[in-house]
Amino acid sequence: MLTLYNDRHALHHGKLEMFRGELVPCFEVPARADFVLQALNDRGLGPVESPEDFDDAAIARVHAPRYLDFLAHAWDEWVALDPANAQRDALPSYWPIRTFRSDVLPASFPARMGLFSYDAGTPLTAGTWEAARAGACCALTAARRVAKGERAAFALTRPPGHHAGLDFFGGYCFLNNAAIAAQALRDAGVERVAVLDIDYHHGNGTQAIFYERADVHFSSVHGDPHTEYPYFLGHADERGAGEGLGFNRNLPLARGIGFAAWREALKEALRGIAAFGPGALVVSLGLDTFAGDPIAGFTLATPDYLRVGEDLADAGLPTVFVFEGGYAVAEVGVNAVNVLDGFMQRAG
């Protein structure tokens, strides 16, 4: 399998995040991608290449221009507020929730940071924009290669993307790589695209981006938002709206479930995708379903991920894999590569 690797991902390296009321070292660290790359090389699963470059117009097919402009200049503005800020990451502290306006762009940098975010657990760093933008190029390159005939391609990048929406970041995510890949496949002529999110946490950003569209089907298997992040989206009754009604499917599951129940939900999601009849599939590949993950609650074991890859291959679709969550750092590499290995062995 072809892997597109973001060699600039480590430029984004947050120091601290707000987690359950206290500042703690970030769970989302560069070593996550490093372990996946090492496992890919150890397994000899296929070539690893650098992504092609794309202009921001391709990213703006998914994200609002004023949001992209904010991300591109945010670090410089943060440091301009106080030179000492160069030694600390930026975290938001104000949010325009119900009854507040979001159409007027504030002059204040802290206010704009709140406008374009939804949690205090996603630090913005000196290298965030460069790392995230290179990651989007990985997703775009993977989509281009699959559109040109590759059976599958893997965008190995961080920060992850599936929590990022049209004009907001959060959940460690800034640019929605899976949505960018899906839109690129559509722009390449694939009439219908499915996005399947198997991260422990619901892909709220991806859902929101495609919620009113009939050409992209979004399906997610995740922890029940009654108890699990991101809490305010991911319920089973969210089925799409307008032209998109019926093209959004959530399968929330209780904390603590094992592989058998999780796999049945995956197969149910795949049956829905088959009924949609897509020409290509994008998989948000989160590995925080692993039993040892520190911020999740399912109990999948390392060998289970081979079976996950086989099930995904049985869909019979050209497939773009995009690396998302997974915070049991030492195990995330073998777990991710097991999915890809299982996929390729079954796909032949």
Largest CA distance in the chain: 56
pTM over 0.95: yes
pLDDT in tens, 153-187: 999 999 999 999 999 999 999 999 999 999 999 99
Name the residue with tokens 């500042």.
23
Provide the CATH topology of domain 2-52+128-347: Arginase; Chain A (3.40.800)
pLDDT at 149 over 90: yes
pLDDT at 348 over 90: no
CA–CA distance, 329 with 336 (Å, rounded to integer) = 11
**In this predicted structure, what is the pLDDT of residue 342?**
98
Contacts of 348 (CB under 8 A, 6+ apart): none
Q: Is 163 a catalytic residue?
A: yes
Which of 12, 163, 202, 222 is catalytic? The answer is 163
pLDDT in tens, 224-237: 999 999 999 999 99
What are the extents of the domains in the chain? Answer: 2-52+128-347
**In this predicted structure, what is the pLDDT of residue 174?**
98
Residue 36: CA atoms inside 13 Å, Cβ hemisphere, count?
34
Q: Check: CB of residue 315 under 8 Å from CB of residue 151.
A: no
Q: Check: CB of residue 338 under 8 Å from CB of residue 302.
A: yes
pLDDT in tens, 63-108: 999 999 999 999 999 999 999 999 999 999 999 999 999 999 999 9
